[in-house]
Amino acid sequence: MKTQEAINEIEKLEDGESWIYPEGDYGRAEIWLKNDRYFLFTIPCFGGKPIYYGAYLKKETDYIIKIVEEWT
């Protein structure tokens, strides 16, 4: 998935919704929007519970994608 497409998907989220970044070598990333903050979780490649990674402001969507793309 291209960076701008991922940013567009994240910016479409409404409060309480989530989006899962397509699978990569590392597993997946789950991004939640709650109270004007994005919460980033990693989803292990071989299953298991999502692991909290961090919280980010709404203006940091490009930074979130940069983090996720560095995981591969």
pLDDT digits (tens, 9 = 90+) for 23-55: 666 668 999 999 999 999 998 887 788 899 999
Per-residue pLDDT, 62: 92
Per-residue pLDDT, 63: 94
Q: Work out the mean pLDDT of the chain and round it to a whole number.
A: 89
Tell me the mean pLDDT in the region 10-26: 86
Quote the CA–CA distance of 35 and 6 in Å, as a whole number.
20
Top-confidence residue, 12 or 48: 12
- CA-based radius of gyration for the chain: 11
The residues with which 17 forms a beta bridge, in sequence order, are: none
Per-residue pLDDT, 23: 66
Residue 10 has which token pair? 């994240």
